[in-house]
């Protein structure tokens, strides 16, 4: 009979197949990629020109050159952290958040209420 730990291990293994990110995953990113993801998480969607404007507005030491930004965006897209729609200057980047598991509380509450009402 599978136990709770077996079930949790299976869920952990399945998360790798889902794509997208969780907040805990951000800590494992290199500084450059983490900086871009923090910018993206504020808006969830930015066009390439908006990303360039946002980078230009950062303090001097935090800005990324266009070449480094392009490479970082390619890496984040390849690793499914971001979803890219379009190419070049017309590209739009969206954060790829993992699907959240649905709550089982609601069905349990309704079942309990149904049982109580049937008992009356």
State the pLDDT at residue 100. 46
Yes or no: say if 61 and 46 are a contact pair by the CB < 8 Å rule.
no
User: CATH code at 79?
Assistant: 1.10.10.10
Identify the CA nearest to 46 among candidates 81, 85, 72.
85
Averages of pLDDT over runs of 10 residues in the chain (120 residues) are 61 54 74 88 91 91 89 90 89 78 57 73
Query: Is the separation of the CB atoms in 47 and 89 below 8 Å?
Result: no
Q: Compute the distance between CA of residue 26 and CA of residue 42 in angstroms, rounded to an integer.
A: 14
| pTM confidence score | 0.63
User: Which pLDDT score, from 0 to 100, does residue 97 have?
Assistant: 75
Name the strand (E) or helix (H) holding 46. strand 45-47
Domain of 12, in residue numbers: 4-119
Q: How far apart are CA 21 and CA 79, in angstroms?
A: 10
Q: Can you give the pLDDT at residue 53?
A: 93
Helix (H) or strand (E) holding 37: helix 31-43
- What pLDDT is recorded for position 105? 53
DSSP 51-106: HHHHHHHS-GGG---HHHHHHHHHHHHHTTSEEEES-GGG-EEEE-BPPPPPPSHH
Give the number of domains in the chain.
1
């Amino acid at each position: 009979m599978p136990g709770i730990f077996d079930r949790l291990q299976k869920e952990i293994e399945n998360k790798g197949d889902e794509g997208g990110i969780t907040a805990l995953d951000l800590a494992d990113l290199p500084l450059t990629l983490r900086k871009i993801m923090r910018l993206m998480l504020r808006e969830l969607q930015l066009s390439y020109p908006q990303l360039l404007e946002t980078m230009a507005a950062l303090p001097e030491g935090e800005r990324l050159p266009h070449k480094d930004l392009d490479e970082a965006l390619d890496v984040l897209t390849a690793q499914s952290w971001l979803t890219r729609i379009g190419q070049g200057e017309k590209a739009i980047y969206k954060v790829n958040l993992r699907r959240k598991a649905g709550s089982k509380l609601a069905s349990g509450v309704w079942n309990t209420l149904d049982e109580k009402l049937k008992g009356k």
